[in-house]
A and B are shown apart, each in its own frame.
Chain A
């Protein structure tokens, strides 16, 4: 089942087309990466999903229902530009935001207490936001995003401005939420972050859906049969018959083979020639790499 279906969505601002006939589905319970450079249309798309703006045409289904304002309480959104009421106390602010998402005062308070315990920040309840450091504010912002137990969480550049310790903490929590069945949209322009935690991705460029699918499948589809072999001993100069040599040193060679079969042949040949193989790896392309090739029209 899909938590979100985006069907042929178009959004224009004056003369600029921000979202150009984009279609994709987000299955329930996965981490979905929304990738693309700055200005690709990610934020415009997110604002449509969060019902902040409406698409010019196209349709969005949330849990198979046409997306409407009643769905906002099932969605948690952390915008790229973080913001909280600076003069409000942390606890009061979180209760207020939770109530706006439809939680009762009591439920909000006990949930927030739970999160404070989890992050070990119990003494923050009566602190004002402006007295917290940036990293601390981010934690509060994260709690504000997830405390009402949304079915869909949208995180726009969640790691920007976080130190490694806090980034790890948030990453763990994201994975935790996924385990509990929450669907997560993870929007970023830093593609290397996504590969580790996203199950599926969509690549967006200039408002268009460039590529969409399962991360592993995409990598397999766009792999170039690149293999890296570490070895000890002598090998002959006849390597070219197995493929193109990309790089070669005394103990390491990177080859682009025509097919996996050729790589197998290469390995057998090396062993027969008396080389001691210490490692054999297929080099899969990075998402970044695929994206660049895709945008440049090379694939």
Chain B
């Protein structure tokens, strides 16, 4: 027995020794809450991320929690400004040569972190990889019209990209973080496993180390082409448990926590050293998708309009979402290009809903399903249950159908769902056209209730309109049509909720949910 115990005691201390010895990467970065707190100020910012990264290869689909890190290392051609305009990053200009040809002027004097030059050849190499069908990825869906093989190198810093059909959105599409550029030295002749572990881009931060499930460290790159980073080191700590992120912030172990749970907001705001910062998520909103394919009640536009009047969005946002969402009346987010700000909220009007149902021939109501994925988004179960109650009040009997996340996604894309389904559809480029494209007849999401009639005609016209003002006008007209005869039951746009130490100065959330630390400073304690 003594030997038995002794063996474990010795083993434990040996392991403790190995671990705390910090051999290799584990020794750097975080040294525990107390020591981080005592470190010199303004040099390090520690961010509590909502999950461990599943990779650092921008061409293998990256989720938001990956993008928060990867967009410090890698950069796309453009990015969207706070007011939704296209800003140059690795490209400085773009022009439409003819309806199916765009010319991009690449930024000069830029090198990757490994000293490889950023030039037209690097662009072509990356474009080829974005379309590589051997990768388990579909980042090329961000630029679906591009014909990669036809790309022309005009000179060392000018390329011409050809599209299969006129595509007015192409520069904006190249702002997607999936379409970021990796050093040619890394991608040429190497497999995906190598690329995933050798993150080399052109961004303001270079990769230092990654101890999985513990921390990932980035360091400001002295050779960055843009304004020098004001924070020397960024450390991302994966803390998937929301309460753990909150505790780590309150204990001073981290300086910023992402995706803060609503119940913790008041506690953080009340704490003298921390604050809550929120912003609308411009890239996504949650709505009820409607299956109108099989005829019946949901195929009737009056019924769909009735459902929009039957739901009290304000109450859902206030009572269920704790104020961390914004009610909507369009499928386009207010931050998106082409948003129609003239549309007024439907308001909660069950009497009007009943009258519309009666007009449509469903005065006695009808039954349908409502699919959702418990836990896939904040309060998803509570939201759908509340909707079930509102619809019951106007005679629509809804059966809730919980589904598993990946099964639900496969079934959605495969057209297997029916009735109603609660979903958030990403529109990373924040352009009304993005969501209309998803609603096109025959598309995976559009197959349930596709654009039709005048809306379809206007959308086709909008896609080939290269004048921004004119394109925005068309997008607004489409939204008006979809307001009067909706294809969705509009619900809400989530807010991004961050908890930040008061020592962090000058940081603002971006509408496209990426993190930007340019100009941010961290005051000493």
Q: Do A and B bind each other?
A: no
B-side residues, CB < 8 A to A, are none
A-side residues, CB < 8 A to B, are none
